[in-house]
A and B are shown apart, each in its own frame.
Chain A
Amino acid sequence: MATGNPSVFLLTVNGQIEGANFPEYDNLYCKYCFVYGHDWAPTSGLEEGITQITCKGSQSSHRLIWNFPLETTFKSTNPSGWPQLVVSVYGLDVFGNDVVRGYGVTHIPFTPGQHTRTIPMFVPEPTWRLQKFTSWLLGRRPEYTDPKVVAQGEGREVTRVRSQGFVTVSFHIMTKDMKKLGYDTGPSSPLNTPSATSGWSTEEQQYTT
């Protein structure tokens, strides 16, 4: 519904968690969730999810493919606390325990259109070496208390992490009423706006003209 004076703007995130590149591990699955500020509320779609377990193909690429769709719509009044996508990758270790293989986070892109993000992943490190051994033995690697920790900047200085691999996510972003609320996130030159964007964008253009 197109009201003249919107009080919220909408952000639709479509896309997929395409896959990952973890050279050392196989049989991984991925969890995702969104982290957003106080002024944000999801209106539709899944806020969190978990993918299938995938193994590397025999092809040379050695990429793990999930192709897990994301489709969420947020509404908000304030760009502060822009949603972030937190992904965490898990896999089974030799003893069959679920072990975290990486955490990563990326902001949902601001600008409408298609984006691809490669998220570097990392895991917390055991505080000392003996723990590293025991954690391996017991299959209880250090984990974040909450994967959402990676989306916050506070308190990270106490942790030590090791980088692990990469997860590739593609996004298709649509926004509605952002401009009307005074937030211009569009590409800098209007010529570059793809004409084939969805109805929302065109709708908006109609308003503005």
Chain B
Amino acid sequence: MKDQQSSDEDPGETLKRTLKAQLQRRKKRVLERSSAQGTHVDDYDDDDVEEISTVQQRSEDEGPSEKAADPDGLSRPPTGSLRGLSSRIQHTADSQHLDDFVTRRLEEKRRAARAKVENAQPQEVSPEPASRLQSLRDRDTVTRFDRAVDPERAGRQDVPPTLSTRVKFREVARRASKGVPTAEEAYNFFTFNFEPDPQEETEKISRKRKKQKKASEGGDEEGGEDDDEQEDAEVDEGNQDEHEDQSEEAPLVRDEEGDLFVIEQSSQDFLEVKKAEYIGYRKCIQQESELLFRPSFRTVPTSIKLPENMKPRFLEDEGLYAGERPPVSLTNENILENRILKTEEGKKWFGDDGRIMALPDPIKESSTRPPLFQMEEDVDPALHTVYRKAVKSKYAYLYIAGSADPEGDYQLDVDVSGLIFSHHPLFSREHVLGARLAQLYDQYLTRQHNNLTGHLTDKLNGSRIALRNMLNVHGSQSLTPVMQQRISEYSLEVRNTRQLRDSEQEKDRTLLKNIVKVWKELKAQRDLQKYTNTPFKLYLRRENVDRASDEREYEDEILAEVVELEAESEEDYQRKLAEYKTQLEEWKLWRRKQKSKKKKKKKKKKGQAQDETEEEDEDQEASESEGPVEEGHPKPEPPEKPDFDSIEQQVREKASRIRRKPGEAILIPELSASGNITASELCPRPETARREDVTRRSLFIKILYNDKEVSRTDSRSLNSDFKVHFGQIFNLKIVNCPQSISLQVFEEIGSSCSLLAQVYIPVPEPSVLTGNGTLEEFEFSSNQRVMFDHDGVGSDVPLSFEADGSNKQTLLTSGKLSCCVSWGIGEDDVPLAPPVSQQPGGLHSGLGRLDAVTYIGASGLYDMKKIGEWATQSRLDPNDPKNGSIMQLLKLASSGEVTAPEYFRLEQLQEEFNFVTDEELERSKRFRLLRLRSQEVAEFRNYKCVPALEREVTDKVFQEYERRLKEGEEIDTRDHLDPQRARKAKQHQKIREAVINRFILAKHHFLLSDLVIEEEIPSIGILGLNLFKLAEPKRPLKPQRKERKKVTAQNLSNGDIKLLVNIIRAYDVPVRRPQSGPGQSSQTAIQGSDWLISQVQVRPFVEVSFQRTVLQTTTAEGPNPCWNEELQLPFSAPNGDYSTASLQSVKDEVFINIFDEVVYETGVTDKDKGKSIHTRVEKHWLGSVKIPFSTIYSQSRIDGTFKVNTPAVLLGYSKERSHGTNGGYDALRSLSEGAFITLFITIEPQLVPGETIREKFDSQEDEHLLQAAERFERDAARVYLDRPCITTVIDLNGKTVFITRYIKPLNPPQELLDAFPENSQEATALVARFVSLIPSLPDRVSFSGTCDLWSTCGEFLTLLAGDEEEHAVLLCNYFLSMGKKAWLIIGTAIPEGPTAYVLTYEQSRYLIWNPSSGQYYGQYDTFCPLQTVGSLVNADNVWLNIQEYTSPMTINFDVSKANLWKPFFSRSFTHPGLSSVQPEQLSYKRADKAAAADLQDSIEKILKEKIMEWRPRHPTRWNRYCTSTLKQFLPKLELSGGQDMAEGHRHELQSLLGDHRISGFPLHLPFSEIGPIIEAVHSTGVHNIQGSNVEFALAVYVHPYPNHVLSVWVYLASLVRT
């Protein structure tokens, strides 16, 4: 409480003091108004009351307001209230009634205020909600403040305690105990009791409050108050202060009396004096225990703390988060609990767990640094923050502007010639004198040289003459004012010159005297010490003068001077006299005035007494009355008359002093250094010591350039004459601006050296070059204190030459350094100085102004403002071309177009480095093309010669690409005629693209073998073979085709590649059937006879078409023709891209068509009498073989006999073998039907086939299995090179899958099985046909040869496209489900190359099925396309063929024989039970007849259009009758599978169209899209039949099979009316 009071107190005091200062100013006013004090107080009181009524709303400030409202000490704490009290007492002491009045007034006022407070109090508490956004401390303050105020008021002042505040406090307390204690209240509670800290804070706040209050009292804050109110308040304050002032001014004693008196009075008034009471300790305790409650510190049982019948509940145990409680000592906690329990509703403070509720521990886990609140002086001095100014390195990196070459174009030559000491510590006394003498002599010499005296004398004489002339000329005449002016000017000048001359003469004289004097001293010194140290000798040359003339001159001179001086003094006198007169006048005037005044006074005071004195002389009067009476004007003294005698005297004196006496010889001193120096041996010891010391010393000079040592001279020893000669020139190549050049003189004694002095040398003007620079002397000195014990005089040591030791001198080391700094000259006489404009010799600021970088710093260059500033400051010449760019920049900047960015850019020039903007890059077609090419987009991968100019890039280039992009979203139904298939194709395309992308990625990974051809390390066997080869005949009789050199495809261009097709022979070409119709013409008769005679049944030739190039062989004759011709077809790759990937994706096929050449004679013209016969040649298509280019490319050659794909029905031809029965072959041929052709196809030059992707695919297979599979394949490949063996394949997701997982019985469409319920043979054929009808799309084509992807049967049926593997797998699975024994054959076939066939075993024979054609062959069929059997696969195992032969005819298919077939899974490596990847069951969509009909119509339409298109120059007529007939045939053909229907057809047609020669055939294709159909029709060449009477017939039939498998039949016929 106490300290609180005191602390509460002094803010009040300080406040007062501050106010006092302010009020002091008003004091006077208050003084003046002090008489009206009472009224003032009155006013004040009224005002105060008013004010408080207005204040009522201000709840918190109410307390203080009350206190401040009665400033006269009512609320003032007693300890510091003396002044306040005294001030009040002052009143009583001063004027009793006033005091009374005031006190009464104050009482009233206080009461009123209290009443107000009482009114305000409840208001104050109630509107203060708990949720108010007020800091807790504020609220605390309120209670605290009141508490602090109340007791003192009650106790000391004996004023009844204000009830209101009590009430208020209780209110707060009650409020705290009432209701649920909130966190806020809890905080209050705790802090209230235990924490002393907030008090300070509250104090501060309360202080603030007070201030505020005071201010508000003055009406500052309250809007309602007027200015005069404020004044009043101030007056009141002043009033109060005035009392103080009065007390201070009043005598001290009285003050003390008053003080004492006050105490007496107060004690009498308020206190009763009693005897001191003693209460015994026990009693005291007892009393206390009645009054006080001491909570025990025992633990409170939980049951008490909790409501009855409740068990403690621990939140933590229940898994809820309970914050960590702040650590409170158990005792404290117990005390607290006990106390709380005593209060009413104390249990509210306990939580469910029976502990006091507490907020989580507010202490932070990691300590943070608390802010320092102490005042500055409290801080440990070690912790004081010391401010150090940042030091700017001055000279570094200030490059001379314009020096492009960092090597330094500039060179400074520093010539250090030497130095002379004018004083050195080692000087002996004689030296000192000698040095002085030398110095004086030097001075003398320079003076002589300058000859100032002479000049001035001449000048003086000249002016005198001029003046004299002027006076003479004008003589007695009255002078014009101009002349007068001039004369006066001249005389003034004469006077000045004379004075100057005199002083110079005097100097000369004294110098001479000094020289003589020093010389004398020197001599005396020498005599004294009996040796000579210095070589100086002074000669005084006497120059005799003519005495008479000299005297005369002398006299003249004096005379002239005297005259002049006289004139001057006269003039002076006149002027002074004039001045005196005017002053005297003034004085007299003033005097008179004064007198009249006096008179008055005298009359008044002493009557007539001094009448006489009035008559006194004014002058006398003046002198009398001077001074004491008044300090008025002194009486001016009349100037003295110049004393002309004295003038002459003076002049003579002066002349004798400063001038040579007349007739005296002129003395010219000559100092020579020719004297002998006494040798050291003859000298006394101290002197020798000194001399030795001298010899030990040596000096060198460091040259510092921009405060950096750049070089130093050699060290030279000090001579006895204290001169050092260096004579060294240093060439400084400089880069930085020369800011300072300084030379440091170092003295070396032994090994230690010390800095003697530093000499700063100005940077030379650029014009000062090495040649013309003159040596300059720079003085230096050092204040080092040096003392010696020998004769050396030392430095900074007082020394005297007088005998009595007076007149001491202190000499410092000093000397002169002679050096020269100049700019160097280059080899070719080019001065190596910076240009004058960038003169480094100038001031730093000037230099900086010229160099922007120096001025604003390099970083500032990016700041436009700074550059602008600099430009204006340096006043750049805007016309200077050098400044052009800067001016432009500034113009831009000032125009506001370019504003320097406010932000920091990391890559400042990024934009500038951008080639073009991104938008432009997007827009430009050329850039787009380039980008697409570099991205290896298929269309542009090998685009050649991107045009150099934008305009040359046509939009056409992108059309295809854009179309493809668009197709990505849309499905083009035009080509596909079937939306479903289109969708499938799209899906296919997507898979393909994904794989291609993968492939492109993989393509950029190179292996050594891709780059370097290296021989394998030969095994012994091969080595032997090679050796054996040496013995081979050079030209074998039966040469074998040798491997040609393979060519990488990248550097090929169009026309480089040729496809070589060697057509060798054909077998069993269908023969013409003799027409046996009724209307046989004569020609046919002839033909018939021909046939009979020559047996020409057919004249076949072969036409090869590839990429629309068509070549044909010659025509051979007979059904077994032999051509043996080679055809060369050019090949061009798509987009000119001959890369491997591109070549592999070529989809073109080689069509080999066999035609029959039929020659018709159109008749013999009679004119020529049968000499010329007109014939027409027709070609009739007999059959074709298609070989995809990709097969040729991957196989590199195709060699073999192929079955010609002949139509089921060939009108006009018979497939039956003709009569020629050439026995032996029949046996073989009978096994198969149809025609065959023997071919050899290859590509020239041989291209390197694409390699399968090497990427290792991830797999879900067991690692063990994969390794085994790899081993198995590797072994197979090593031993049996030509036997394909596959154990793992890649599925559509790009994962490696073991092959047996693909084999699983799967149900064929039920419709097919139902078709022939009783004939399993037929059903099998139908299933095979169904499989073959699924379009074949070789993987190598679709996936760019990257890898062979195996799709499952489900995927295959969904995609409706796949290659042989998929077909074979599906067929195999069907057969398995039909209960057959079936295997997959992995082997090679023609023309497919490595492929998969299906092997079945039924009725004790093996059948080989070609899954893509649906045909089957017996094991011993010669024309079976399967050439080698590599391995067999079924669901359980893989067998590798390890028999000697691979041809199906020669091998045994019994896989159980381990010596013939090597199983993959054996006893050592059992089948792990691999589950199938195939779906459980295949579900099929039913055949959609309606869709098929639609398709049929559209195909027919398209084909008809095409045929007409192909015959542009001839009308194409359609024979409807024939067409409808043909249409009827087609379903039958489909039903029969194209077998054995020819006869029936022909007969039917023959009967219908007897008079037409018909040639036609049905084409059968699986449907994938329209393109292949058109291609097939085109390749038959039906449309090529010319002639006026030709008609065509075209019928299309589409047979639907389940699951959208479609079989397309096209019947084409040409009819020629005969």
Which residues of chain A have a CB within 8 Å of any CB of chain B? 5-9, 38-41, 76-78, 80, 124, 126-127, 130-131, 134-135, 138, 140, 142-146, 148-149, 154-159, 181
- Whether A8 contacts B948 in the complex (CB less than 8 A), given A38-B943, A78-B930, A134-B1017, comes out as yes
Smallest CB–CB gap between B409 and chain A, Å? 21
Choose among B1004, B1014, B1051 the residue that contacts A135 (Cβ–Cβ < 8 A). B1014
Query: Could you tell me the distance between the alpha carbons of A148 and B1010 in the complex, rounded to whole angstroms?
Result: 12
Whether B417 is near chain A, meaning CB under 8 Å from some CB there, is no
Query: Could you tell me the distance between the alpha carbons of A39 and B1013 in the complex, rounded to whole angstroms?
Result: 30
- Whether A145 contacts B1048 in the complex (CB less than 8 A), given A131-B1015, A154-B1006, comes out as yes
Whether B279 is near chain A, meaning CB under 8 Å from some CB there, is no
| CB-CB contacts below 8 Å: B1492-1530 with A | none
The answer to whether A9 touches B1006 (Cβ under 8 A) is no
The answer to whether B1011 touches A144 (Cβ under 8 A) is yes
Choose among B948, B1014, B1048, B1051 the residue that contacts A181 (Cβ–Cβ < 8 A). B948
The answer to whether B1014 touches A131 (Cβ under 8 A) is yes
Query: Could you tell me the distance between the alpha carbons of A145 and B1013 in the complex, rounded to whole angstroms?
Result: 6
**Interface SS majority for chain B:** loop
Report 25 cross-chain contacts, Cβ distance below 8 Å, ordered by A residue. Answer: A5-B949, A7-B947, A8-B948, A38-B933, A38-B943, A38-B944, A38-B945, A78-B946, A126-B1014, A140-B1015, A142-B1013, A142-B1014, A143-B1013, A145-B1010, A145-B1011, A145-B1012, A146-B1048, A149-B1011, A154-B1004, A155-B1004, A155-B1010, A155-B1011, A156-B1006, A158-B1007, A181-B949
Interface centre among A39, A80, A124, A138 (most CB of B within 10 A): A39
The answer to whether B1015 touches A77 (Cβ under 8 A) is no
Chain A residues in 8 Å Cβ range of B1017: 130-131, 134
Smallest CB–CB gap between A126 and chain B, Å? 7
The answer to whether B948 touches A9 (Cβ under 8 A) is yes
Query: Could you tell me the distance between the alpha carbons of A8 and B952 in the complex, rounded to whole angstroms?
Result: 11
Smallest CB–CB gap between A86 and chain B, Å? 12
Chain B residues in 8 Å Cβ range of A154: 1004, 1006
Whether B390 is near chain A, meaning CB under 8 Å from some CB there, is no
Interface centre among A5, A127, A130, A158 (most CB of B within 10 A): A158
Interface centre among A77, A140, A149, A159 (most CB of B within 10 A): A77
- Whether A134 contacts B1015 in the complex (CB less than 8 A), given A8-B948, A77-B946, comes out as yes
Smallest CB–CB gap between B1362 and chain A, Å? 34
Choose among A39, A146, A156 the residue that contacts B946 (Cβ–Cβ < 8 A). A39
Smallest CB–CB gap between A15 and chain B, Å? 22
- Whether A38 contacts B942 in the complex (CB less than 8 A), given A124-B1012, A131-B1015, comes out as yes
Chain B residues in 8 Å Cβ range of A8: 945, 948
Query: Could you tell me the distance between the alpha carbons of A81 and B762 in the complex, rounded to whole angstroms?
Result: 63
Smallest CB–CB gap between A174 and chain B, Å? 18
Query: Could you tell me the distance between the alpha carbons of A203 and B933 in the complex, rounded to whole angstroms?
Result: 34
Whether B375 is near chain A, meaning CB under 8 Å from some CB there, is no
Smallest CB–CB gap between B1054 and chain A, Å? 13
Whether B327 is near chain A, meaning CB under 8 Å from some CB there, is no
Closest chain B residue, CB of each to CB of A41: B945
Chain A residues in 8 Å Cβ range of B933: 38
Whether B1018 is near chain A, meaning CB under 8 Å from some CB there, is yes
Chain A residues in 8 Å Cβ range of B1010: 145, 155, 158
| CB-CB contacts below 8 Å: B943-961 with A | 943-949, 952
Closest chain A residue, CB of each to CB of B940: A38
Whether B372 is near chain A, meaning CB under 8 Å from some CB there, is no
Query: Could you tell me the distance between the alpha carbons of A135 and B1012 in the complex, rounded to whole angstroms?
Result: 13
The answer to whether A142 touches B1012 (Cβ under 8 A) is yes
Whether B609 is near chain A, meaning CB under 8 Å from some CB there, is no
Chain B residues in 8 Å Cβ range of A77: 945-948
Closest chain A residue, CB of each to CB of B952: A7
The answer to whether A7 touches B949 (Cβ under 8 A) is yes
Interface centre among B1014, B1017, B1051 (most CB of A within 10 A): B1014
Query: Could you tell me the distance between the alpha carbons of A76 and B1008 in the complex, rounded to whole angstroms?
Result: 33
Smallest CB–CB gap between B1073 and chain A, Å? 58
Chain A residues in 8 Å Cβ range of B1015: 131, 134-135, 138, 140, 142
Closest chain B residue, CB of each to CB of A139: B1015
- Whether A159 contacts B1013 in the complex (CB less than 8 A), given A78-B946, A145-B1048, comes out as no
Could you mark each residue 1069-1096 of chain B with 1 if its beta carbon is under 8 Å from any beta carbon of chain A, else 0?
0000000000000000000000000000
Closest chain B residue, CB of each to CB of A134: B1017
Choose among B943, B1012, B1048 the residue that contacts A159 (Cβ–Cβ < 8 A). B1012
Closest chain B residue, CB of each to CB of A158: B1008
Chain B residues in 8 Å Cβ range of A78: 930, 946, 948
Query: Could you tell me the distance between the alpha carbons of A7 and B949 in the complex, rounded to whole angstroms?
Result: 7
Query: Could you tell me the distance between the alpha carbons of A8 and B949 in the complex, rounded to whole angstroms?
Result: 9
Smallest CB–CB gap between A185 and chain B, Å? 15
Choose among B946, B947, B1007 the residue that contacts A38 (Cβ–Cβ < 8 A). B946
Query: Could you tell me the distance between the alpha carbons of A41 and B946 in the complex, rounded to whole angstroms?
Result: 11
Query: Could you tell me the distance between the alpha carbons of A131 and B1017 in the complex, rounded to whole angstroms?
Result: 6
Choose among B930, B948, B1007, B1051 the residue that contacts A7 (Cβ–Cβ < 8 A). B948
Chain A residues in 8 Å Cβ range of B946: 38-39, 77-78
Closest chain B residue, CB of each to CB of A131: B1017
| CB-CB contacts below 8 Å: B762-809 with A | none
Closest chain B residue, CB of each to CB of A157: B1006
Return the 10 tightest CB-CB contacts between A and B, nearest first: A155-B1006, A77-B948, A142-B1014, A140-B1015, A124-B1012, A158-B1008, A142-B1012, A143-B1013, A181-B948, A39-B945
Chain A residues in 8 Å Cβ range of B949: 5, 7, 181
Chain A residues in 8 Å Cβ range of B942: 38
Chain B residues in 8 Å Cβ range of A159: 1008, 1011-1012
Query: Could you tell me the distance between the alpha carbons of A181 and B1012 in the complex, rounded to whole angstroms?
Result: 40
Chain A residues in 8 Å Cβ range of B1048: 145-146
Chain B residues in 8 Å Cβ range of A158: 1006-1008, 1010-1011
Closest chain B residue, CB of each to CB of A183: B948
Query: Could you tell me the distance between the alpha carbons of A134 and B952 in the complex, rounded to whole angstroms?
Result: 56
Chain B residues in 8 Å Cβ range of A142: 1012-1015
Could you mark each residue 1031-1049 of chain B with 1 if its beta carbon is under 8 Å from any beta carbon of chain A, else 0?
0000000000000000010
Smallest CB–CB gap between A116 and chain B, Å? 28
Query: Could you tell me the distance between the alpha carbons of A41 and B942 in the complex, rounded to whole angstroms?
Result: 13
Closest chain A residue, CB of each to CB of B1053: A41
Query: Could you tell me the distance between the alpha carbons of A81 and B1004 in the complex, rounded to whole angstroms?
Result: 18
Interface centre among A9, A38, A134, A156 (most CB of B within 10 A): A38
Closest chain A residue, CB of each to CB of B1013: A143
Interface centre among B945, B947, B1007, B1011 (most CB of A within 10 A): B1011
Chain B residues in 8 Å Cβ range of A181: 948-949
Query: Could you tell me the distance between the alpha carbons of A80 and B933 in the complex, rounded to whole angstroms?
Result: 12
Closest chain A residue, CB of each to CB of B933: A38
Chain B residues in 8 Å Cβ range of A135: 1014-1015
Query: Could you tell me the distance between the alpha carbons of A140 and B930 in the complex, rounded to whole angstroms?
Result: 41
Query: Could you tell me the distance between the alpha carbons of A146 and B1004 in the complex, rounded to whole angstroms?
Result: 16
Smallest CB–CB gap between A188 and chain B, Å? 16
Choose among B945, B948, B1008 the residue that contacts A127 (Cβ–Cβ < 8 A). B1008
The answer to whether B945 touches A134 (Cβ under 8 A) is no
Chain A residues in 8 Å Cβ range of B1011: 124, 144-145, 149, 155-156, 158-159
Smallest CB–CB gap between A158 and chain B, Å? 5
Could you mark each residue 32-49 of chain B with 1 if its beta carbon is under 8 Å from any beta carbon of chain A, else 0?
000000000000000000
Chain A residues in 8 Å Cβ range of B1005: 155
Query: Could you tell me the distance between the alpha carbons of A138 and B946 in the complex, rounded to whole angstroms?
Result: 46
The answer to whether A144 touches B1008 (Cβ under 8 A) is no
Closest chain A residue, CB of each to CB of B1248: A145
Smallest CB–CB gap between B493 and chain A, Å? 69
Closest chain A residue, CB of each to CB of B1004: A154
Query: Could you tell me the distance between the alpha carbons of A132 and B867 in the complex, rounded to whole angstroms?
Result: 70
Chain A residues in 8 Å Cβ range of B930: 78, 80
The answer to whether B1014 touches A127 (Cβ under 8 A) is yes
Query: Could you tell me the distance between the alpha carbons of A6 and B1011 in the complex, rounded to whole angstroms?
Result: 39
Could you mark each residue 915-944 of chain B with 1 if its beta carbon is under 8 Å from any beta carbon of chain A, else 0?
000000000000000100100000000111
A124-B1014, A142-B1015, A155-B1004 are known; give 6 further A-B pairs, CB within 8 A.
Answer: A76-B945, A77-B947, A126-B1014, A134-B1017, A144-B1013, A158-B1008
